[in-house]
Copies of this chain bind each other. A is one copy, B any other.
């Protein structure tokens, strides 16, 4: 049965023979596509590699991963290529809770038993996306745990596996597995990049991105797209305001605004502020609708991660899970809640940020004074001291914070990978955001210096975006072209294994955190300070149009392909954007209060400053109320999705009523009944069972 891949269509099948045998006969296929490459350490002995290959190929009931493995060139090489047979993929699809197209063209949660009623369930390349297949391989490998105490051949006794030890973690710490990454498919990648960024396309091929990079990456680009287009209205408003107030003088070095930053139109900035506050809520609600229909289309709307196996790092006392009745480590909820109280640490860090900033200002003032007193070359170099110290301090703090946040999140011991990610992201995000905005907030709320805020914002928008683009794209591009290029050109006669091995030399994809935080900071500039600087949206729009292409190029060409867990929505990022949109009301009202023009207006109207503040507070509360009402009135999902969801709920309620007895009574009867069902599906000739049962009735 050891069928070798035929060299028919391109790279995928050009791997020679040597794949392990699939454990079930239905899964043998002529063509095996290598999905994931496991890079072994240098000093791994052949018996360890053989053991690992056997483990990957063994059926799941024997503690294996039921995957297909290929030793590369020979048994002593340092790579293992892994692929997955049909049945393993299908079973994992059910376990992950992915939805697929049913025969009646609806999306239904996939069920292995009923696989024949799902469309294309016999052709994995159509049924599952490439990203999903690769994720499933990783999922199965990560889920390997020792069913009993076990010595690994070729390793010292100190690495003996204990019962329930995670095998991949252990092998990682023993230096056997050095790395694991999904393989690029050059043909598909070429098609994707053509449709994505090489032409002048306005829309992005989101479904193809989902197919190749998975739903998390596709959702990011979908959000980026949605957000960019939604910048059009505020950009147009900003242009109109700038044009009619006509006070914006553009110098060659950038955009500079005069001290009295407000146009003669007077209320233009009020209009801008109110518009941007309501706009942000509407955009977020529309995005939620779009996100829910995307996740429906991609089959990730009913993910069942909390019913699947816990994530590798999860530890606890072995016991029966009350929800799924499986034996697995249990960790009480209250201990997690207790551990989640990282607030003091976060507060402490933000205080440090503020202190650092204040020290910087103090130091700068001191140095200015020193320089004025001394006026020497030494004092001139001293002038840069505070900035340097502050930058070093901020970076050190950020590094420490990230480390502590990571270990805190690990200490919280989340059961699901997504919960872990969300908690970690939330922690880092708050700090990073605060770090970005500390200076602006300081200017806006303490110094209350609107012209300075305006100047700072303008320079930040232009300079930091430019710097960002350069560091994100140009430098990796140059590095890629001139340094790595020599040992990464694909020659035609090179063996496929070496081509795969070369992908391992590319840098690891750093994840979407940096991309999202960039968007969040943009969104912050726009919603917090838009009334100060009406051109913000225009600049962001221009930036994002290039950003889409740059990000696409980056992920396609400059990095190793990342694994991508199926996700339903943006998770914690969605919350972050929504929170920002509400906090921005306060910031905007405050800035309007400070605006010299409005103050003058109130002064002329004979309204006391106390009354002005009360008015601002009133306006703030009313705006928050309106935003809340808007958020409630716009449904989070389109009507057709709601109906489909309710239909699923209804069907599963009905199903529960039918099946609850079966699953609880005698497992034998349950099995027999479902096998009746399977028999009837697969063999339409069997028609006598209904008659028998009716007679007995």
Residues of A in contact with B (beta carbons under 8 Å apart) = 94, 97, 102-104, 108-109, 111, 113-114, 117, 304, 306-307, 322-324, 333-334, 337, 586, 609-610, 613-614, 617, 621, 633, 639, 643, 646-648, 650-665, 668-669, 671-681, 683, 686, 689-690, 692-694, 696-697
Contact = CB atoms under 8 A, between A and B. Distances in A.
A102 B680 CA distance: 31
B696 A686 contact: yes
A681 B661 contact: yes
Contacts of A654: 659, 663
Contacts of A672: 689-690, 693-694
A396 B692 CA distance: 71
A661 B613 contact: no
Given A647-B323, A655-B655, A679 B660 contact: no
Given A693-B672, A693-B679, A697-B678, A655 B646 contact: no
A350 to B, nearest CB: 14
Given A102-B664, A613-B613, 18 more contacts: A102-B660, A103-B664, A109-B656, A334-B639, A651-B659, A652-B653, A655-B655, A658-B674, A659-B659, A661-B681, A662-B677, A669-B680, A671-B690, A672-B694, A673-B676, A679-B697, A689-B689, A689-B693
A696 B672 CA distance: 11
A324 to B, nearest CB: 6
Given A646-B323, A679-B696, A658 B660 contact: no
Contact of A664 (B104, B659, B686): B104
A660 B111 contact: yes
A646 to B, nearest CB: 4
Nearest to A333: B639
Contacts of A614: 613
Contact of A656 (B117, B586, B655): B655
Given A114-B660, A674-B658, A653 B307 contact: yes
A683 B304 CA distance: 37
Q: How many copies of this chain? A: 2
Contacts of A103: 664
Contact of A113 (B617, B658, B671, B675): B658
A664 B647 CA distance: 13
A518 to B, nearest CB: 26
Contacts of A324: 647, 650
B657 A94 contact: yes
B683 A673 contact: no
Contacts of A693: 672-673, 675-676, 679, 689
Contacts of A676: 673, 676, 689, 693
Q: Which of A324, A672, A694 has the most CB of B within 10 A?
A: A672
Q: Which of A117, A633, A686, A696 has the most CB of B within 10 A?
A: A696
A617 B616 CA distance: 11
Given A669-B680, A669-B690, A696-B683, A658 B111 contact: yes
A265 B18 CA distance: 86
Contacts of A663: 651, 654-655
A671 B694 CA distance: 9
Contacts of A643: 322-323
B653 A304 contact: yes
Nearest to A322: B643
30 contacts: A97-B653, A102-B660, A102-B664, A104-B664, A109-B653, A111-B661, A306-B646, A307-B650, A307-B653, A324-B650, A333-B639, A610-B610, A613-B613, A617-B617, A651-B659, A651-B660, A652-B652, A655-B656, A658-B677, A665-B681, A671-B690, A672-B690, A672-B693, A672-B694, A673-B677, A673-B690, A675-B697, A676-B689, A679-B696, A683-B696
Contact of A657 (B109, B639, B658): B109
Contacts of A337: 633
Contacts of A102: 660, 664
A552 to B, nearest CB: 36
Nearest to A306: B646
Given A613-B614, A662-B677, A677-B673, A114 B657 contact: yes
Given A610-B613, A656-B655, A669-B680, A117 B661 contact: yes
